[in-house]
A and B are shown apart, each in its own frame.
Chain A
Amino acid sequence: RVSSDGKPPKFQPPPKPVIIDRKTQKEERRFLSPEFIPPRGRTDPLKYYIERKDMIQRRKVFNIPEFYVGSVLAVTTADPHASDKSKRFVGICIHRGGKGLGATFVLRNVIEDQGVEICYELYSPRIQAIEVLKLEKRLDENLMYLRDALPEYSTFDVNMKPVPRMDHEEIPVNKLQVRMKPKPWSKRWERPKYNIKGIKFELPEHKMKAAQKWSQPWLEFDMLREYDTSKIEEKIRKELSEELEK
Protein backbone atom coordinates (compact mmCIF):
# COMPACT_ATOMS: atom_id res chain seq x y z
CA ARG A 1 0.00 0.00 0.00
CA VAL A 2 1.15 3.53 -0.61
CA SER A 3 0.78 5.70 2.48
CA SER A 4 -0.42 9.26 2.21
CA ASP A 5 2.92 10.62 3.59
CA GLY A 6 5.02 9.25 0.79
CA LYS A 7 7.13 7.31 3.33
CA PRO A 8 7.51 3.52 2.94
CA PRO A 9 4.57 1.58 4.56
CA LYS A 10 4.89 0.49 8.19
CA PHE A 11 6.51 -2.89 8.60
CA GLN A 12 3.82 -5.54 9.03
CA PRO A 13 5.27 -8.64 10.66
CA PRO A 14 4.18 -11.89 8.99
CA PRO A 15 1.31 -13.76 10.77
CA LYS A 16 2.53 -16.22 13.40
CA PRO A 17 2.32 -19.83 12.18
CA VAL A 18 -0.25 -21.97 14.04
CA ILE A 19 1.41 -25.26 14.97
CA ILE A 20 -1.02 -28.18 15.11
CA ASP A 21 0.83 -30.87 17.01
CA ARG A 22 -0.61 -34.11 15.63
CA LYS A 23 1.11 -36.24 18.29
CA THR A 24 -0.60 -34.59 21.28
CA GLN A 25 -3.93 -34.72 19.48
CA LYS A 26 -3.48 -38.45 18.96
CA GLU A 27 -2.59 -39.05 22.62
CA GLU A 28 -5.85 -37.49 23.77
CA ARG A 29 -7.68 -40.47 22.33
CA ARG A 30 -5.76 -43.14 24.27
CA PHE A 31 -7.65 -46.19 25.37
CA LEU A 32 -7.75 -47.17 29.05
CA SER A 33 -9.10 -50.68 29.67
CA PRO A 34 -12.20 -50.38 31.89
CA GLU A 35 -10.94 -52.88 34.48
CA PHE A 36 -8.22 -50.45 35.60
CA ILE A 37 -10.74 -47.91 36.88
CA PRO A 38 -11.39 -48.73 40.57
CA PRO A 39 -15.07 -48.93 41.60
CA ARG A 40 -16.54 -46.56 44.18
CA GLY A 41 -16.24 -48.03 47.66
CA ARG A 42 -14.48 -48.00 50.98
CA THR A 43 -11.55 -50.24 50.06
CA ASP A 44 -8.02 -48.97 50.64
CA PRO A 45 -6.52 -47.56 47.39
CA LEU A 46 -3.38 -49.55 48.24
CA LYS A 47 -5.24 -52.73 47.27
CA TYR A 48 -6.01 -51.34 43.79
CA TYR A 49 -2.41 -50.14 43.41
CA ILE A 50 -1.06 -53.62 44.15
CA GLU A 51 -3.61 -55.25 41.84
CA ARG A 52 -2.60 -52.84 39.09
CA LYS A 53 1.06 -53.77 39.52
CA ASP A 54 0.14 -57.43 38.93
CA MET A 55 -2.00 -56.50 35.91
CA ILE A 56 0.82 -54.46 34.39
CA GLN A 57 3.22 -57.35 35.04
CA ARG A 58 0.92 -59.67 33.09
CA ARG A 59 0.48 -57.17 30.27
CA LYS A 60 4.24 -56.89 29.85
CA VAL A 61 4.50 -60.62 29.15
CA PHE A 62 1.20 -61.16 27.32
CA ASN A 63 -0.37 -58.66 24.97
CA ILE A 64 -4.00 -57.81 25.79
CA PRO A 65 -5.21 -55.78 22.78
CA GLU A 66 -7.62 -52.91 22.82
CA PHE A 67 -11.18 -54.03 22.17
CA TYR A 68 -14.72 -52.91 22.89
CA VAL A 69 -18.10 -54.53 23.33
CA GLY A 70 -19.17 -55.35 19.77
CA SER A 71 -15.76 -56.29 18.38
CA VAL A 72 -15.09 -59.78 17.09
CA LEU A 73 -12.27 -61.62 18.90
CA ALA A 74 -10.53 -64.98 18.61
CA VAL A 75 -9.22 -66.47 21.87
CA THR A 76 -6.87 -69.49 22.15
CA THR A 77 -6.84 -71.14 25.59
CA ALA A 78 -4.84 -74.06 26.96
CA ASP A 79 -6.91 -77.18 27.59
CA PRO A 80 -5.50 -80.41 29.05
CA HIS A 81 -8.25 -82.55 27.45
CA ALA A 82 -8.06 -81.25 23.87
CA SER A 83 -5.99 -83.14 21.27
CA ASP A 84 -3.78 -80.15 20.46
CA LYS A 85 -3.83 -79.02 24.10
CA SER A 86 -5.33 -75.68 22.96
CA LYS A 87 -8.80 -74.44 21.99
CA ARG A 88 -9.70 -71.53 19.72
CA PHE A 89 -13.03 -69.71 19.95
CA VAL A 90 -14.22 -66.85 17.76
CA GLY A 91 -17.08 -64.62 18.85
CA ILE A 92 -18.46 -61.14 19.33
CA CYS A 93 -17.79 -59.55 22.71
CA ILE A 94 -21.18 -58.90 24.29
CA HIS A 95 -20.13 -57.91 27.80
CA ARG A 96 -17.05 -56.74 29.69
CA GLY A 97 -17.27 -57.05 33.44
CA GLY A 98 -15.28 -57.23 36.63
CA LYS A 99 -12.57 -54.92 37.91
CA GLY A 100 -8.91 -55.57 38.54
CA LEU A 101 -7.45 -59.04 38.00
CA GLY A 102 -10.88 -60.68 37.85
CA ALA A 103 -11.92 -58.80 34.71
CA THR A 104 -13.93 -60.96 32.30
CA PHE A 105 -15.40 -60.69 28.83
CA VAL A 106 -18.12 -62.81 27.24
CA LEU A 107 -17.83 -63.96 23.62
CA ARG A 108 -20.89 -65.14 21.72
CA ASN A 109 -21.16 -67.14 18.50
CA VAL A 110 -23.67 -69.46 16.88
CA ILE A 111 -22.03 -72.78 15.92
CA GLU A 112 -24.12 -75.30 13.95
CA ASP A 113 -27.36 -73.54 14.95
CA GLN A 114 -26.47 -73.62 18.66
CA GLY A 115 -25.76 -70.32 20.38
CA VAL A 116 -22.61 -70.54 22.51
CA GLU A 117 -21.36 -67.95 25.00
CA ILE A 118 -18.03 -68.30 26.77
CA CYS A 119 -16.89 -66.04 29.62
CA TYR A 120 -13.09 -65.62 29.65
CA GLU A 121 -10.94 -64.00 32.33
CA LEU A 122 -8.60 -61.41 30.81
CA TYR A 123 -5.71 -62.17 33.17
CA SER A 124 -6.08 -65.93 33.38
CA PRO A 125 -2.75 -67.70 32.63
CA ARG A 126 -4.62 -70.31 30.55
CA ILE A 127 -5.27 -67.81 27.76
CA GLN A 128 -2.50 -68.13 25.17
CA ALA A 129 -3.55 -65.53 22.60
CA ILE A 130 -6.23 -62.89 22.06
CA GLU A 131 -6.61 -61.56 18.48
CA VAL A 132 -8.96 -58.82 17.51
CA LEU A 133 -10.46 -59.83 14.16
CA LYS A 134 -12.72 -56.79 13.81
CA LEU A 135 -12.37 -53.75 16.06
CA GLU A 136 -15.57 -51.77 16.26
CA LYS A 137 -18.02 -50.33 18.74
CA ARG A 138 -21.79 -50.68 18.82
CA LEU A 139 -24.54 -48.38 19.99
CA ASP A 140 -24.73 -50.09 23.43
CA GLU A 141 -22.27 -51.11 26.14
CA ASN A 142 -24.06 -54.42 26.74
CA LEU A 143 -25.13 -56.67 23.87
CA MET A 144 -26.96 -59.29 25.96
CA TYR A 145 -30.03 -58.73 23.73
CA LEU A 146 -28.32 -60.71 20.98
CA ARG A 147 -29.63 -63.79 22.78
CA ASP A 148 -33.16 -62.80 21.76
CA ALA A 149 -32.20 -61.45 18.34
CA LEU A 150 -32.32 -63.47 15.14
CA PRO A 151 -29.34 -65.86 15.04
CA GLU A 152 -27.86 -64.26 11.93
CA TYR A 153 -26.69 -61.30 14.02
CA SER A 154 -24.59 -63.53 16.29
CA THR A 155 -23.05 -65.84 13.67
CA PHE A 156 -19.44 -65.19 12.80
CA ASP A 157 -17.22 -67.32 10.62
CA VAL A 158 -14.79 -69.34 12.72
CA ASN A 159 -12.06 -68.95 10.09
CA MET A 160 -12.65 -65.23 9.65
CA LYS A 161 -9.64 -63.19 8.53
CA PRO A 162 -8.72 -60.16 10.62
CA VAL A 163 -10.09 -56.95 9.11
CA PRO A 164 -7.14 -54.63 8.38
CA ARG A 165 -7.23 -51.27 10.11
CA MET A 166 -5.03 -48.18 10.10
CA ASP A 167 -3.62 -47.05 13.43
CA HIS A 168 -4.78 -43.46 13.35
CA GLU A 169 -8.34 -44.14 12.24
CA GLU A 170 -11.13 -43.56 14.70
CA ILE A 171 -12.85 -46.67 15.99
CA PRO A 172 -15.91 -47.22 13.76
CA VAL A 173 -19.30 -47.28 15.48
CA ASN A 174 -21.58 -49.85 13.90
CA LYS A 175 -25.05 -48.30 13.99
CA LEU A 176 -26.68 -51.61 13.22
CA GLN A 177 -30.26 -51.99 14.45
CA VAL A 178 -30.89 -55.62 15.25
CA ARG A 179 -34.17 -57.43 14.53
CA MET A 180 -35.52 -59.58 17.32
CA LYS A 181 -37.22 -62.93 17.57
CA PRO A 182 -40.90 -62.79 18.59
CA LYS A 183 -41.57 -62.16 22.27
CA PRO A 184 -41.15 -63.55 25.04
CA TRP A 185 -37.55 -62.40 25.48
CA SER A 186 -35.19 -63.25 28.34
CA LYS A 187 -35.41 -59.64 29.52
CA ARG A 188 -37.87 -56.88 28.63
CA TRP A 189 -35.43 -54.99 26.45
CA GLU A 190 -37.95 -52.31 25.46
CA ARG A 191 -37.95 -50.91 29.04
CA PRO A 192 -36.01 -47.65 29.55
CA LYS A 193 -33.87 -49.17 32.33
CA TYR A 194 -31.77 -51.02 29.74
CA ASN A 195 -31.58 -47.95 27.49
CA ILE A 196 -30.94 -49.99 24.35
CA LYS A 197 -30.46 -48.15 21.09
CA GLY A 198 -29.36 -51.04 18.92
CA ILE A 199 -32.69 -52.87 18.53
CA LYS A 200 -35.24 -52.17 15.82
CA PHE A 201 -38.37 -52.53 17.94
CA GLU A 202 -41.26 -53.79 15.81
CA LEU A 203 -43.66 -53.71 18.75
CA PRO A 204 -46.98 -51.82 18.50
CA GLU A 205 -47.02 -48.18 19.67
CA HIS A 206 -49.12 -48.81 22.79
CA LYS A 207 -46.63 -51.42 24.06
CA MET A 208 -43.70 -49.03 23.64
CA LYS A 209 -45.68 -46.34 25.47
CA ALA A 210 -46.59 -48.77 28.27
CA ALA A 211 -42.90 -49.63 28.68
CA GLN A 212 -42.12 -45.95 29.35
CA LYS A 213 -44.17 -46.29 32.57
CA TRP A 214 -41.06 -47.84 34.18
CA SER A 215 -38.83 -44.93 33.26
CA GLN A 216 -37.01 -43.16 36.09
CA PRO A 217 -36.27 -39.67 34.68
CA TRP A 218 -34.87 -38.46 38.02
CA LEU A 219 -31.94 -40.91 37.87
CA GLU A 220 -29.77 -38.78 35.58
CA PHE A 221 -30.03 -35.84 38.02
CA ASP A 222 -29.16 -37.90 41.11
CA MET A 223 -25.95 -36.37 42.41
CA LEU A 224 -25.12 -39.23 44.78
CA ARG A 225 -24.79 -41.56 41.80
CA GLU A 226 -22.25 -39.36 40.05
CA TYR A 227 -18.80 -40.92 39.78
CA ASP A 228 -16.37 -38.67 37.97
CA THR A 229 -13.48 -40.84 36.84
CA SER A 230 -11.55 -38.29 34.74
CA LYS A 231 -8.87 -37.48 37.34
CA ILE A 232 -8.50 -41.11 38.44
CA GLU A 233 -8.19 -42.13 34.79
CA GLU A 234 -5.46 -39.58 34.16
CA LYS A 235 -3.42 -40.81 37.10
CA ILE A 236 -3.81 -44.42 36.04
CA ARG A 237 -2.90 -43.60 32.43
CA LYS A 238 0.28 -41.90 33.60
CA GLU A 239 1.16 -44.85 35.82
CA LEU A 240 0.49 -47.32 33.00
CA SER A 241 2.54 -45.46 30.41
CA GLU A 242 5.47 -45.14 32.84
CA GLU A 243 5.43 -48.80 33.81
CA LEU A 244 4.97 -50.19 30.30
CA GLU A 245 7.89 -48.16 28.96
CA LYS A 246 10.31 -49.67 31.52
Chain B
Amino acid sequence: MMPIWTKSGEKHAVTLLKVQDCHVLRYVSKEESGGKTAKLLVGGKNVSPFSKPESAHEIFKEAGVPRKQKVTTFNVTDDAIIKPGTPLYAAHFRPGQFVDVTAKTVGKGFQGVVKRWGFKGQPASHGQTKTHRRPGAISTNKAAKVYRGKKMPGKMGNIYRTSFGLKVWRINTKHDIIYVNGSVPGHTNCLVKVKDSKLPTYKDCNKNPPFPTFFADGDEELPEDLFDEEIFQFTDPSVTFA
Protein backbone atom coordinates (compact mmCIF):
# COMPACT_ATOMS: atom_id res chain seq x y z
CA MET B 1 0.00 0.00 0.00
CA MET B 2 1.23 3.44 -0.84
CA PRO B 3 0.14 7.06 -0.35
CA ILE B 4 -1.11 9.10 -3.30
CA TRP B 5 -1.79 12.84 -3.34
CA THR B 6 -4.42 14.76 -5.29
CA LYS B 7 -3.86 18.19 -6.88
CA SER B 8 -5.59 19.83 -3.90
CA GLY B 9 -3.06 18.26 -1.52
CA GLU B 10 -5.25 15.53 0.02
CA LYS B 11 -3.70 12.16 0.71
CA HIS B 12 -5.31 8.82 -0.18
CA ALA B 13 -4.00 5.33 0.53
CA VAL B 14 -3.69 3.09 -2.48
CA THR B 15 -3.16 -0.68 -2.94
CA LEU B 16 -0.96 -1.95 -5.77
CA LEU B 17 -2.30 -4.96 -7.70
CA LYS B 18 -0.12 -6.71 -10.28
CA VAL B 19 -1.68 -8.42 -13.31
CA GLN B 20 0.60 -11.42 -13.60
CA ASP B 21 0.30 -13.72 -16.68
CA CYS B 22 -3.49 -13.57 -17.07
CA HIS B 23 -4.89 -15.50 -20.03
CA VAL B 24 -8.42 -16.31 -21.18
CA LEU B 25 -8.77 -20.11 -20.95
CA ARG B 26 -12.19 -21.06 -22.24
CA TYR B 27 -15.46 -19.67 -23.54
CA VAL B 28 -18.63 -21.22 -22.10
CA SER B 29 -21.80 -20.23 -23.96
CA LYS B 30 -25.08 -19.26 -22.23
CA GLU B 31 -26.85 -22.55 -23.01
CA GLU B 32 -23.87 -24.68 -21.95
CA SER B 33 -23.47 -22.99 -18.57
CA GLY B 34 -27.22 -22.72 -17.90
CA GLY B 35 -26.94 -19.16 -16.57
CA LYS B 36 -28.20 -15.83 -17.93
CA THR B 37 -24.97 -14.79 -19.69
CA ALA B 38 -21.99 -16.42 -21.34
CA LYS B 39 -18.93 -17.09 -19.20
CA LEU B 40 -15.22 -16.72 -19.79
CA LEU B 41 -12.76 -18.77 -17.74
CA VAL B 42 -9.65 -16.73 -16.94
CA GLY B 43 -6.44 -18.08 -15.40
CA GLY B 44 -4.00 -16.19 -13.17
CA LYS B 45 -0.36 -16.59 -12.16
CA ASN B 46 1.87 -19.22 -13.86
CA VAL B 47 2.80 -22.23 -11.76
CA SER B 48 4.77 -25.45 -12.38
CA PRO B 49 2.76 -28.18 -14.17
CA PHE B 50 4.36 -31.02 -12.22
CA SER B 51 2.27 -30.87 -9.06
CA LYS B 52 -1.05 -31.79 -10.70
CA PRO B 53 -2.11 -34.85 -12.80
CA GLU B 54 -2.34 -34.68 -16.60
CA SER B 55 -6.15 -34.63 -16.48
CA ALA B 56 -6.03 -31.21 -14.80
CA HIS B 57 -3.92 -29.77 -17.65
CA GLU B 58 -6.57 -30.18 -20.38
CA ILE B 59 -8.00 -26.65 -20.17
CA PHE B 60 -4.52 -25.14 -20.30
CA LYS B 61 -3.41 -27.29 -23.23
CA GLU B 62 -6.49 -26.30 -25.27
CA ALA B 63 -5.72 -22.63 -24.72
CA GLY B 64 -1.98 -23.14 -25.29
CA VAL B 65 -0.97 -21.65 -22.00
CA PRO B 66 1.16 -22.85 -19.01
CA ARG B 67 -0.65 -24.10 -15.92
CA LYS B 68 -2.21 -21.30 -13.86
CA GLN B 69 -2.55 -21.15 -10.11
CA LYS B 70 -6.13 -19.84 -10.10
CA VAL B 71 -9.00 -20.16 -12.57
CA THR B 72 -12.03 -17.82 -12.18
CA THR B 73 -15.19 -17.21 -14.17
CA PHE B 74 -16.42 -13.87 -15.41
CA ASN B 75 -20.03 -13.42 -16.57
CA VAL B 76 -19.77 -11.70 -19.92
CA THR B 77 -22.22 -10.31 -22.50
CA ASP B 78 -22.11 -11.75 -26.03
CA ASP B 79 -20.34 -8.72 -27.55
CA ALA B 80 -17.44 -8.99 -25.09
CA ILE B 81 -16.35 -12.56 -25.92
CA ILE B 82 -12.58 -13.01 -26.24
CA LYS B 83 -10.77 -15.84 -27.98
CA PRO B 84 -9.22 -18.34 -25.54
CA GLY B 85 -5.47 -17.88 -25.25
CA THR B 86 -5.44 -14.06 -25.40
CA PRO B 87 -3.38 -12.46 -22.65
CA LEU B 88 -5.07 -9.86 -20.44
CA TYR B 89 -3.16 -6.78 -19.30
CA ALA B 90 -3.55 -4.09 -16.66
CA ALA B 91 -4.42 -1.63 -19.44
CA HIS B 92 -7.84 -3.35 -19.59
CA PHE B 93 -8.73 -0.92 -16.79
CA ARG B 94 -8.39 2.85 -17.07
CA PRO B 95 -7.84 5.49 -14.36
CA GLY B 96 -11.15 6.94 -13.15
CA GLN B 97 -12.96 3.59 -13.36
CA PHE B 98 -14.54 1.96 -10.32
CA VAL B 99 -13.76 -1.61 -9.50
CA ASP B 100 -14.75 -4.44 -7.13
CA VAL B 101 -11.94 -6.56 -5.71
CA THR B 102 -12.56 -10.09 -4.40
CA ALA B 103 -10.04 -12.18 -2.50
CA LYS B 104 -9.73 -14.72 0.31
CA THR B 105 -9.38 -12.86 3.63
CA VAL B 106 -6.40 -13.40 5.93
CA GLY B 107 -6.94 -16.68 7.80
CA LYS B 108 -7.05 -16.28 11.57
CA GLY B 109 -7.55 -19.94 12.48
CA PHE B 110 -9.90 -21.12 15.20
CA GLN B 111 -11.07 -18.02 17.02
CA GLY B 112 -13.32 -17.33 19.96
CA VAL B 113 -16.62 -15.52 19.87
CA VAL B 114 -15.23 -12.12 20.98
CA LYS B 115 -12.81 -11.80 18.06
CA ARG B 116 -14.92 -13.64 15.51
CA TRP B 117 -18.30 -12.00 16.07
CA GLY B 118 -17.47 -9.00 18.24
CA PHE B 119 -19.29 -10.18 21.36
CA LYS B 120 -18.68 -8.09 24.48
CA GLY B 121 -17.74 -10.98 26.77
CA GLN B 122 -18.00 -10.60 30.55
CA PRO B 123 -16.36 -8.23 33.10
CA ALA B 124 -12.81 -8.98 34.25
CA SER B 125 -13.59 -8.86 37.96
CA HIS B 126 -16.51 -8.53 40.42
CA GLY B 127 -16.91 -12.25 41.04
CA GLN B 128 -16.85 -13.68 37.48
CA THR B 129 -15.76 -17.33 37.80
CA LYS B 130 -13.75 -18.48 34.78
CA THR B 131 -16.01 -16.50 32.42
CA HIS B 132 -14.45 -13.56 30.62
CA ARG B 133 -14.66 -14.22 26.85
CA ARG B 134 -17.48 -16.78 26.65
CA PRO B 135 -20.65 -16.39 24.57
CA GLY B 136 -23.01 -16.54 27.56
CA ALA B 137 -26.56 -17.69 26.70
CA ILE B 138 -27.04 -19.33 23.28
CA SER B 139 -30.85 -19.57 23.10
CA THR B 140 -34.07 -18.96 25.02
CA ASN B 141 -36.08 -21.40 27.16
CA LYS B 142 -39.16 -21.43 24.89
CA ALA B 143 -37.19 -22.23 21.73
CA ALA B 144 -35.85 -25.43 23.32
CA LYS B 145 -33.22 -25.64 20.58
CA VAL B 146 -30.27 -23.71 19.21
CA TYR B 147 -31.06 -21.98 15.90
CA ARG B 148 -29.05 -22.76 12.79
CA GLY B 149 -26.39 -20.19 12.13
CA LYS B 150 -25.93 -19.31 15.81
CA LYS B 151 -22.75 -17.27 16.19
CA MET B 152 -20.25 -19.52 17.93
CA PRO B 153 -16.46 -19.98 17.99
CA GLY B 154 -14.94 -21.49 14.85
CA LYS B 155 -12.48 -21.00 11.98
CA MET B 156 -12.26 -17.31 11.07
CA GLY B 157 -11.00 -15.82 7.84
CA ASN B 158 -9.82 -17.56 4.67
CA ILE B 159 -13.17 -16.91 2.96
CA TYR B 160 -13.91 -14.90 -0.16
CA ARG B 161 -14.90 -11.30 0.50
CA THR B 162 -15.30 -8.31 -1.83
CA SER B 163 -14.50 -4.62 -1.45
CA PHE B 164 -16.94 -2.66 -3.64
CA GLY B 165 -16.56 0.62 -5.49
CA LEU B 166 -12.77 1.14 -5.37
CA LYS B 167 -11.47 3.87 -7.64
CA VAL B 168 -8.61 3.12 -10.01
CA TRP B 169 -6.10 5.97 -9.62
CA ARG B 170 -3.24 4.94 -11.85
CA ILE B 171 -2.12 2.20 -14.23
CA ASN B 172 1.46 1.18 -14.97
CA THR B 173 1.47 -0.49 -18.39
CA LYS B 174 5.14 -1.51 -18.29
CA HIS B 175 4.86 -3.64 -15.14
CA ASP B 176 1.05 -4.25 -15.40
CA ILE B 177 0.14 -2.66 -12.05
CA ILE B 178 -3.25 -1.24 -11.07
CA TYR B 179 -3.37 1.35 -8.25
CA VAL B 180 -6.69 0.84 -6.47
CA ASN B 181 -8.07 3.19 -3.77
CA GLY B 182 -8.24 1.96 -0.17
CA SER B 183 -7.54 -1.52 1.14
CA VAL B 184 -8.28 -4.88 -0.41
CA PRO B 185 -9.08 -8.19 1.35
CA GLY B 186 -6.26 -10.74 1.56
CA HIS B 187 -2.65 -10.91 2.71
CA THR B 188 0.35 -9.48 0.82
CA ASN B 189 0.99 -11.21 -2.53
CA CYS B 190 -2.32 -13.11 -2.49
CA LEU B 191 -4.41 -13.75 -5.62
CA VAL B 192 -7.19 -11.28 -6.24
CA LYS B 193 -10.10 -10.97 -8.71
CA VAL B 194 -10.78 -7.50 -10.14
CA LYS B 195 -14.12 -6.76 -11.83
CA ASP B 196 -15.97 -3.67 -13.01
CA SER B 197 -18.10 -2.33 -10.17
CA LYS B 198 -21.68 -3.56 -9.86
CA LEU B 199 -22.76 -0.61 -7.68
CA PRO B 200 -25.57 1.48 -9.25
CA THR B 201 -23.77 4.81 -8.56
CA TYR B 202 -20.88 3.78 -10.79
CA LYS B 203 -22.95 2.26 -13.61
CA ASP B 204 -22.08 5.02 -16.09
CA CYS B 205 -18.51 5.57 -14.95
CA ASN B 206 -16.61 3.93 -17.79
CA LYS B 207 -16.35 6.59 -20.47
CA ASN B 208 -14.34 4.79 -23.12
CA PRO B 209 -12.98 1.55 -21.78
CA PRO B 210 -10.95 -0.72 -24.06
CA PHE B 211 -13.65 -3.11 -25.30
CA PRO B 212 -13.59 -6.15 -25.20
CA THR B 213 -10.07 -5.81 -23.75
CA PHE B 214 -6.71 -4.13 -24.35
CA PHE B 215 -4.77 -6.00 -27.04
CA ALA B 216 -1.00 -5.57 -26.80
CA ASP B 217 -0.38 -6.25 -30.49
CA GLY B 218 -3.01 -3.67 -31.52
CA ASP B 219 -2.42 -0.17 -32.89
CA GLU B 220 -2.70 1.71 -29.59
CA GLU B 221 0.61 2.80 -28.04
CA LEU B 222 0.01 3.65 -24.39
CA PRO B 223 2.48 5.67 -22.27
CA GLU B 224 4.20 3.83 -19.42
CA ASP B 225 1.98 5.44 -16.72
CA LEU B 226 -1.67 6.41 -17.01
CA PHE B 227 -2.84 8.83 -14.32
CA ASP B 228 -6.26 9.98 -13.20
CA GLU B 229 -6.96 13.72 -13.78
CA GLU B 230 -6.95 14.57 -10.08
CA ILE B 231 -3.66 12.91 -9.17
CA PHE B 232 -0.68 15.08 -8.31
CA GLN B 233 2.11 13.90 -10.58
CA PHE B 234 5.62 14.13 -9.17
CA THR B 235 6.88 15.87 -12.32
CA ASP B 236 4.85 18.98 -11.37
CA PRO B 237 6.12 21.58 -8.85
CA SER B 238 4.68 21.70 -5.33
CA VAL B 239 1.00 22.50 -4.78
CA THR B 240 0.15 26.16 -4.10
CA PHE B 241 -3.24 27.60 -3.24
CA ALA B 242 -3.86 30.77 -5.23
Chain A nearest CB from B42 CB (Å) reads 22
Neighbouring A residues of B16 by C-beta, 8 Å: 47, 50
Instruction: Indicate if the CB atoms of A58 and B234 lie closer than 8 Å.
Output: yes
Report which A residues bind B (CB closer than 8 A).
Answer: 41-44, 46-47, 50-51, 54, 57-58, 61-62, 78-80, 85-86, 100-102, 121, 123-128
Q: Tell me if B241 and A57 are in contact (CB < 8 A).
A: no
Q: Kindly state the separation between the CA atoms of A51 and B170 in the bound complex, as whole angstroms.
A: 13
How far is it, in angstroms, between the C-alpha of A61 and the C-alpha of B234 when the chains are bound?
8
Segment with Cβ contacts to A, from B1-9, B44-52, B57-65: B1-9
Q: In the complex the two chains form, is B238's CB within 8 Å of A128's CB?
A: yes
B102 interface contact, C-beta 8 A? no
A128 to B232, CA, bound (A): 14
Residues from chain B with a CB closer than 8 A to the CB of A42 are 188-189
Number of A-B residue pairs having CB atoms within 8 Å of each other in the complex:
61
Residue pairs across A and B with Cβ atoms less than 8 A apart, 14 shown, are: A43-B188, A44-B18, A50-B172, A61-B237, A62-B237, A78-B238, A85-B240, A85-B241, A85-B242, A100-B2, A121-B3, A123-B3, A124-B5, A127-B238
Of A41, A43, A50, A125, most buried by chain B (CB within 10 Å of CB) is A125
In the complex, what's the smallest C-beta–C-beta distance from B20 to chain A, in angstroms?
Answer: 10
| B99 interfacial by beta-carbon distance below 8 Å | no
B189:A50 contact, CB within 8 angstroms? no
Distance, CA A169 to CA B126, complexed state (A):
66
Of B2, B9, B172, which one neighbours A78 at CB under 8 angstroms?
B9
Residues on the A chain within 8 Å of B175, using CB: 46, 50
Task: For A86, list chain B residues within 8 Å (CB).
Answer: 240
Q: A61-B234, A61-B237, A79-B241 are in contact. List 8 more A-B contacts (CB 8 A).
A: A43-B189, A44-B189, A50-B175, A57-B235, A78-B241, A80-B241, A125-B239, A126-B239
Contact mask for chain B residues 195-238; partner A; CB cutoff 8 A; 1 contact, 0 none? 00000000000000000000000000000000000001011111
Tell me whether chain B's interface is mostly helix, strand or loop, or mixed: loop
B108 contacts the other chain (CB 8 A): no
Size class of the contact patch on chain B? 20 to 34
CB distance from A49 to the nearest CB of B (A): 9
B residues 170-196 touching A (CB-CB < 8 Å) = 172, 175, 177, 188-189
On whether the beta carbons of A46 and B240 are closer than 8 Å, the reply is: no
B11 on interface, CB distance cutoff 8 Å: yes
Asked if A101 and B238 make an inter-chain contact with CB atoms under 8 angstroms apart, the answer reads no
CA distance A47 to B239 in the complex (A): 26
Min Cβ gap A41→B in Å is: 8
Whether the Cβ atoms of B236 and A124 lie closer than 8 Å is no
Q: Does B241 contact A125, Cβ atoms closer than 8 Å?
A: no
CA distance A127 to B236 in the complex (A): 13
Residues of B within 8 A of A47 (CB): 2, 16
Check A126 against B9 for contact (C-beta < 8 Å): yes
Shortest Cβ distance from A126 into B: residue: B9
Q: Which residue of B lies closest to A49 (CB)?
A: B175
How far apart are A123's CB and chain B's nearest CB, in angstroms?
8
Contacts of A121 in B (CB 8 A): 3, 11
Query: How far apart are A32's CB and chain B's nearest CB, in angstroms?
Result: 20
Interface residues of B in 67-99 (CB under 8 A from A): none
Q: Which chain B residues border A126 with CB–CB below 8 Å?
A: 9, 238-239
Complex alpha-carbon distance, A102 and B11, angstroms:
10
Give A43 Cβ to nearest chain B Cβ, in Å.
6
**In the bound complex, what is the Cα–Cα distance between A64 and B11 (angstroms)?**
19
Instruction: Give the complex CA separation of A121 and B18 in angstroms.
Output: 26
Residues from chain A with Cβ under 8 Å of B11 in the complex: 121, 124
Q: How far, in Å, is B242 (CB) from chain A's closest CB?
A: 7
B123 to chain A, nearest CB (A): 29
Top 5 A-B residue pairs of the complex, sorted by shortest distance between their CB atoms? A57-B234, A58-B234, A80-B241, A125-B239, A126-B9
Residue of B nearest to A62 (CB): B238
Q: Once bound together, how far apart are the Cα atoms of A123 and B236, in whole Å?
A: 13
Listed residue (A43, A50, A102) with the most chain B CB atoms within 10 angstroms of its CB: A50
